[in-house]
Amino acid sequence: WWQRAPSRFWSTVLHGVYFSYYLVVPAGPLYFLWKRDRQNLRRVILAEVLTFAICYVVFLFYPVAGPYYEFPHPGTGFLDNDAARMVYGVLAGGSSYGAAFLSSHVAGMLIAAGVSAMRSRRLGLLLGVPSLLLTVGVVYTQMHYAMDALGGVAVAGAVMLIVVIREQRVAGSG
């Protein structure tokens, strides 16, 4: 996609949201820890751990090398920004070969935003914007195939459904 529509602006924005993964995923737990809200802290951590466990089990049984490994890397004009340099610096330091499907980046960020939004609309919106951009950005920046991103969306949706059903059962029994 970047080859057909190279954009320094979108490269900067989408590599930036890709890197924001390292901030978004812990944001919910840190927020609820700061608020001393143990119930929501547990909810967010449980949902995130379940999400990553599902993705990692799939990696074990269905390893897929992402487009980062299969196609020529983007050109210097596309990568001539701090966000892209940070992302590629982290990848050069040790990315996981065979861990493209399902996109744990997409699943993790969407679940972090979704579960956080259940108790803090403002936090959910704050985390939701980069999460949605990342869902598109992982394909544009050639980190994942579209199927990887869609798989991450499906995992996040399934985990959100589990969280909502669990909440309804807990509310119904109390």
- Residue pair 121/22 in contact (Cβ under 8 Å)? The answer is no
Separation between Cα atoms, residue 50 and residue 11, nearest integer Å: 31
pLDDT of residue 158: 97
SS3 103: coil
- Residue pair 133/24 in contact (Cβ under 8 Å)? The answer is no
pLDDT of residue 15: 87
Separation between Cα atoms, residue 32 and residue 100, nearest integer Å: 30
User: Could you report the per-residue pLDDT of 141-157, keeping only the tens digit for each?
Assistant: 888 889 999 999 999 99
Separation between Cα atoms, residue 54 and residue 152, nearest integer Å: 10
Stretches where the chain sits below pLDDT 50 are none
pLDDT of residue 94: 67
pLDDT of residue 102: 85
φ, ψ of residue 99 to 5 degrees: the values are -120, 40
> Which amino acid, 4?
R
Count of beta carbons in the 10 Å neighbourhood of residue 16: 19
- Residue pair 98/144 in contact (Cβ under 8 Å)? The answer is no
Count of beta carbons in the 10 Å neighbourhood of residue 10: 18
pLDDT of residue 2: 67
pLDDT of residue 169: 84
